[in-house]
Amino acid sequence: MSAANDDAMSPKWGLRCVLGGALMGLANLVPGISGGTMLLAAGVYPRFIQALADLSALRFRKSSMLVLGLVGTAAAAAILLVAGPVKDAVVEHRWAMYSLFIGLTLGGVPVLWQMARPATGSFWIGTVCGLLVMAALAWLQIRGSSSGTSNEGMLMMFVAGVAGASAMILPGVSGGYLLLVLGVYVPVLSAIDALKIAIKAKDLASASDPVLSVVLPIGIGVAIGILIISNLIKIVLERHEQPTLGVLMGLLVGAVLGLWPFQEGVPPKVGEVFKGQVLNQESLAELTPDKDPTAFYAPTFTDVMMAVGLVGVGYMVTTVVARVGGAKPR
């Protein structure tokens, strides 16, 4: 940890923060992928958590502000510049994009392993726990628990905000899936759409309802969640480094469980329950292909070989990012 902090201000480390932030932004555009996973894969996760903890404690250290600025700016730029192309690629070539993200994720394993060496028994116990958590999330995803009933109310929106903060910080945790599991995905999207319409119409009275009922409680939940979770991770990394790194390793490796590349979008039909709503002709017409539920399919040998190749490309990209920052696996 100290070595990372000492090297945090070097140009190489700054470049790694930029690359990690860009990968984080790209990850946030793909359902099921966590931005925290990409930061962990890039080797900047512990320093990012330290910077968040410093900010939440009102310690405005130059190095911490620089890390947050670089990561945040790179993530925002990636989202703004490639949001459209990435979403189109995921819809039209899901297997290719998911294969690439599997490689990007697994490329962080050597970086995290280097941080944990020599690994103790508590590290491996933590790894198993992290894997079990991700297996449970993947199981919920496959079962379609995310399409359950819709839960509204300020308290639930606050909980959703805390969940969103968890997804921003914890590797392997996808914010979209957490919101779907909590049953607030539809209300949140509806409130955002209502707010956009009100702003375009310059109708402040109409905008107040989604702000007060959804945006405000979620925003408070995110702020409190970041405050609590970032400091909690910082504390456990300092006091229980081996088991904490083990859990992070399990989350990192287990993240690929929800990224099985051989799945395709299946358009829902009238009368089916989708994300807490029974579809009719009108609601079905409003759905776009990127929102279709997915189903697994049997790949051909060529599909498998091409997917393996893309996994290798993603792995090499993350490895290059780590080497740029000077964290070469030993």
Q: By residue range, what is the domain housing residue 228? A: 2-267+290-324
Question: Does 77 score more than 60 pLDDT?
Answer: yes
pTM > 0.75: no
- State the Cα–Cα distance between residues 21 and 157, nearest whole angstrom: 27
Say what the pLDDT of residue 129 is.
93
More confident residue, 260 or 149: 260
284: in domain: no
| Mean pLDDT over the full length of the chain | 76
Lowest mean per-residue pLDDT among 208-212, 244-248, 294-298, 313-317: 208-212
276: in domain: no
What single letter denotes the amino acid at residue 290? D
244: in domain: yes
**First-to-last C-alpha distance (Å) of the chain:** 16
Q: Please report which confidence band the pLDDT of residue 145 belongs to, taking 50, 70 and 90 as the band edges.
A: very low
277: in domain: no
197: in domain: yes
Say what the pLDDT of residue 322 is.
64
330: in domain: no
Dump strand ranges (E) for the chain: 263-265, 273-274, 277-278, 294-296
Lowest mean per-residue pLDDT among 24-33, 76-85, 105-114, 144-153: 144-153
Question: Does 111 score more than 50 pLDDT?
Answer: yes
Secondary structure class of 273 (helix, strand, coil): strand
What single letter denotes the amino acid at residue 176? G
Those residues with Cβ within 8 angstroms of residue 3's Cβ, 6 or more apart along the chain or in another chain: none
Structural domains of the chain, count: 1
285: in domain: no
- State the Cα–Cα distance between residues 72 and 85, nearest whole angstrom: 21
Across residues 122-144, what is the average pLDDT? Answer: 81
282: in domain: no
Say what the pLDDT of residue 160 is.
78
